Amino acid sequence: MLLSAGHEVTGFDSNLFARSTFCQGIRQIPAIHKDIRDVIAADIEGFDAIIHLAGLSNDPLGDLDPDLTYDINHLASVRLAELAKEAGVMRYLFSSSCSNYGAGGTDLLDESSPFNPVTPYGISKVRVEQDVSKLADDDFSPTFLRNATAYGVSPRLRFDLVLNNLVAWAFASGRVHIKSDGSPWRPLVHIEDISRAFLAILEAPRELVHNEAFNVGRTEENYQVRDIAKVVGETVPGSTIEFASGVEPDNRCYRVDCSKILRVLPAFQPQWNIRAGAAELYKAFSKTNLTVEDFEGDRFKRIAHLRKLISDCEVDKSLRWLVQPDFAALEPA
């Protein structure tokens, strides 16, 4: 989407998930194959903006080693911002999360609502916002995008996200498999709409987004997990809803108000809802004949994939490559 809008784009990635490509669509662009913890000023000199997405990407990964989560998601993100400021990079768009609100209850939460994270992942995102906001000045302009829970088809599709996971279970097993009691609230947003938000903020006048936070999504796209499951059951023919045995209520429960981004940035026009997203996922899974072993195995399940890389001695326990692979060979043709 950035390329289509006329921007020059360079990637920066440790490529831990280079073998986890689900479908075609990854554009070939210049890329720096490097761990975000090892970035140096020379890597980012000459750029106008950084869109910072790198990190351990969800709560189970965060729990794998909380100290590692803080090193990567918090400390490395703040250091990147400090280096960007020194290098004269004007814009710093940080991919934050509505996980910041954590145990937020059932009231609608806007960007001024208190943080209440309950996981290392959520805590790390809060700390980055707090630390990087202090760096803002006339020459360095950070913006914090608090994304709702993502869903949707993409080349590196994640199966550990609630809508993606429920549609995968329904398609592969005929069961909409809920891993909680179904009561928690979640805001949801399609990955394309997240991308539209980053693009709108990147191109917005600086004064509108300088040192601001935005909830990214649509206010009407807040759902209880059981209602998400109902949509999935109505989308995937022949599927039935089941709750995992012995589950307890999930204390991660929050509803978010996304009116600010729509008000401040009219260029941001989200286009998806979860019913359309479920249909898109069902169609994609039908084309690949997805099995439970696929998305619960070590190719696509993020935490299982990292554990396999460690057990195979390809990366160490700090998630650094022991032997740098040929990344080009790992990419799909």
Query: Tell me, what's the pLDDT at 104?
Result: 83
Under-70 pLDDT residues of the chain:
58-63, 248-249, 327-333
Residue 253 near residue 300 (C-beta atoms within 8 A): no
As a whole number of Å, the end-to-end CA separation of the chain is 21
Sign of CA dihedral 89, 93, 96, 98: positive
User: What's the distance, CA 3 to chain centroid?
Assistant: 20
Query: Tell me, what's the pLDDT at 262?
Result: 97
pLDDT tens for each residue of 163-214 = 999 999 999 999 998 888 888 999 999 999 999 999 999 999 999 999 999 9
Query: Tell me, what's the pLDDT at 333?
Result: 44
Query: Tell me, what's the pLDDT at 250?
Result: 75
Give the Cα separation of 156 and 158 in Å (integer).
Answer: 6
The type of residue at 103 is: A
CA 20 vs CA 40, 68, 190: distances in Å: 27, 22, 20
Query: Tell me, what's the pLDDT at 144?
Result: 98
Which 3-state string (H, E, C) describes the chain? CCCCCCCCCCEEECCCCCCCCCCCCCCCCCEEECCHHHCCHHHHCCCCEEEECCCCCCHHHHHHCHHHHHHHHHHHHHHHHHHHHHHCCCEEEEEEEHHHHCEEEEEEECCCCCCCCCCHHHHHHHHHHHHHHCCCECCEEEEEEEECEEECCCCCCCCCCHHHHHHHHHHHHCEEEECCCCCCEEEEEEHHHHHHHHHHHHHCCHHHHCCEEEEECCHHHEEEHHHHHHHHHHHCCCCEEEECCCCCCCCCEEEECCHHHHHHCCCCCCCCCHHHHHHHHHHHHHHHCCCHHHHHCCCCCHHHHHHHHHHCCCECCCCCECCCCCHHHHCCC
Model pTM score: 0.94
Residue 48 near residue 7 (C-beta atoms within 8 A): no
Give the Cα separation of 17 and 304 in Å (integer).
Answer: 11
Residue 114 near residue 165 (C-beta atoms within 8 A): no
Residue 196 near residue 269 (C-beta atoms within 8 A): yes
Token pair in block for residue 264: 């401040």
